[in-house]
Chain A
Amino acid sequence: MGQTTAEKIFAAHLRDEPFPGTKVLDLDRVLCHEITTPVAIADLEWRGKDRVFDNTKIKAVIDHVTPSKDSKTALQAKMLRDWARRHNIKDFFDIGQNGVCHALFPEKGYIRPGFTAIMGDSHTCTHGAFGAFAAGVGTTDLEVGILKGVCAFREPKTIRINLTGSLQSGVYAKDVILFVVGQLGVNGATDRVIEFHGPVVDAMSMDARMTLGNMAIEAGGTCGICQPDMVTVDYLWPFIQDEFASKQVALEEYSQWCADADAEYDKILDFNVTELVPHVTFGYKPDCVKPASEMAGTKIDQVYIGTCTNGRIEDLRQAAEVLKGHKIADSLRGIVSPATPKIFQEALAEGLIQIFMDAGFCVTNPTCGACLGMSNGVLADGEACASTSNRNFNGRMGKGGMVHLMSPSTAAATAIAGVITDARAL
């Protein structure tokens, strides 16, 4: 019997099976940010166990509220900063080097095919795009990860999603994943891993694959896995070139993590995306999706482009392509947050920042505070935001606010028109 990618990774990392079905895995990466880690640090100190299992496998960033907005967030940042120094965690990213965790860590080459990773952040599923098993966890799991380098999971079943056909121009990975979440429902993949397959995924860049993986959790999924291939190797090559004689050798090595042809799946779903159109959400659950055209005319107060879903360079390119030569509507405000300093610099070099600013956008430093209503773009009661993020829960971006999720291209078109707009209708 063949194995899925997750099954292979579980087998290779199994430390213990204390009870049938409970797998305690060795971790290759424990990722940390300043919102969920400080309580773990404080608890470890309180227990007299202020230690780390391996300071080279722990990576940390201050990303949600940065620079700090008040005394409380300054304390959170300080706790993480002091801890990283105390334990000599070299890969710690502070102001000037910091960016949104799920964009920054992959960009640094920290996530490899076959790896296990946890983070105190539900969108850790993003890193599955590399053919890794990466799962969001709570602070207690994070704490044990930091201390012992292990995490316990029920071995997840896998839902295989085959994406066939080809995407029309103006339709992106975000539209695909919004559609898929709409099909699965918000708990359609609970206790499941989603594996994305098919020519549509094969043709996607790593940026686009991360957008797919990112929203696996919005269907309840533990991780959103893509199969490692030459696109993966090309992306990682600057970081792995000393490890492998050639890209071909790297590919052969990484291919061991691809699912077997005879792997057993919980479910196999086929979606032909050729007819797929840009999608947006309505309501307060990410599975409430509709074609953007059906929501056309919905009034918007703020457009937010960025986040771990769509704050990468390709996302900014897509938005800038729509915005070029246009001004955003007077009735709304536009905010763009490039997800990392590297992305910011690329956007500068390519003239994208100029396009955003000419259009009337506010360009912020790399951070994601607006996405969860903490900083840099919180909504007022009754306001609506067109956002490239991943969650539209009630109050998510500010109490009484409404969030419509969409692609960077749709968000840009919406910014110009002042109301939800399919970019292809501009």
Chain B
Amino acid sequence: MKKIFGGPAIFLDRSDINTDEIIPAKYLTEVTKEALKPYCLEDLKLEGFDPQGERLKNACVIISRENFGCGSSREHAPWVFEVNDMHTVIAESYARIFRQNMFNCGMLAIELPKADIDALMALEKEANGAVNVKVNLPDQQVVACGNGREVSFSFDISPFDKALVDAGGWVEYADARY
């Protein structure tokens, strides 16, 4: 199924956010994605961050720094985002397995250079956290609006990753092809 991208953003201004922080292992006993929903980012170590807060509840886009999603291969990390309607992550860089898991689920792991992430973080401050992000996948553009101001950035996505998103994920793609 194709996903909807974009919406209100939450800013996690830290590098190396690992999948244990995104979804602690004690919840890996669940065998449905839906059951993960209340535990999103529960163990995140980040000052001022509240895993039960409104900001996370309303967010559809996560914006972060380097090496996002490192550590465990658990796809429960993208899933906990998926069931919370957060289909887009924008970060400076990713751990390989997490990035692949996102595209395999038909979701977006967008990479932007540090300067662009800095600009997004600055917009967050200016807008007191109220930043809305639009993702234009065909044109490979991210547009962020906050405090009456708009900033836009273009991003690269490999043709394979794009094909996965278009197909709705790797199972659909592979099933049609192999």
Contacts and interface: CB of A to CB of B under 8 A. Distances in A.
Given A15-B178, A36-B75, A391-B71, A187 B45 contact: no
Contacts of A70: 29
B95 A396 contact: no
Nearest to A400: B43
Nearest to B31: A38
Contacts of B163: 18-19
B67 A150 contact: no
B178 A24 contact: yes
A139 to B, nearest CB: 4
Contacts, number: 146
B70 interface: yes
Contacts of B74: 35-36, 138
Contacts of B26: 373-374
Q: For chain A, which range describes its interface: under 10, 10 to 19, 20 to 34, or 35 or more residues?
A: 35 or more
A274 B20 CA distance: 35
A192 B72 CA distance: 17
A372 B74 CA distance: 12
A138 B104 contact: yes
Contacts of A19: 158-160, 163
A296 B43 CA distance: 28
Given A42-B31, A150-B174, A140 B105 contact: yes
A148 B178 contact: yes
B93 A187 contact: yes
Contact of B31 (A15, A39, A143, A393): A39
A256 B3 CA distance: 45
Interface stretch (A73-81, A159-167, A327-335, A348-356): A73-81
Contact of B28 (A143, A147, A284, A374): A374
Contact of B73 (A79, A138, A374, A391): A138
Interface in A146-193: 147-148, 150, 152, 154, 186-187, 190-191
Given A140-B75, A190-B96, A285-B16, A394 B45 contact: yes
A315 interface: no
Contacts of B31: 38-39, 42, 72, 75-76, 79
**Chain B interface: which size bin?**
35 or more
A190 B93 contact: yes
A394 B43 contact: yes
A76 B31 CA distance: 7
B93 to A, nearest CB: 7
Nearest to B178: A148
A163 to B, nearest CB: 24
B127 interface: no
Interface string B80-97: 000000000000011111
24 contacts: A16-B178, A18-B160, A21-B158, A21-B160, A49-B175, A70-B29, A72-B30, A72-B31, A120-B75, A122-B72, A124-B73, A140-B170, A141-B100, A141-B101, A141-B170, A144-B174, A148-B175, A186-B16, A186-B67, A190-B94, A220-B67, A374-B29, A394-B20, A399-B43
Interface of A: 15-16, 18-19, 21-22, 24, 35-36, 38-39, 42-43, 47, 49, 65, 70, 72-73, 75-76, 79, 120-122, 124, 136-141, 143-144, 147-148, 150, 152, 154, 186-187, 190-191, 220, 222, 284-285, 372-374, 391, 393-396, 399
Sort A-B residue pairs by CB-CB distance and give the 9 closest, nearest first: A138-B75, A138-B101, A140-B104, A72-B29, A187-B67, A122-B73, A22-B160, A372-B25, A139-B75
Given A18-B160, A186-B70, 14 more contacts: A19-B158, A19-B160, A36-B75, A39-B31, A49-B175, A137-B97, A138-B100, A139-B101, A144-B174, A187-B67, A220-B70, A284-B45, A391-B71, A395-B21
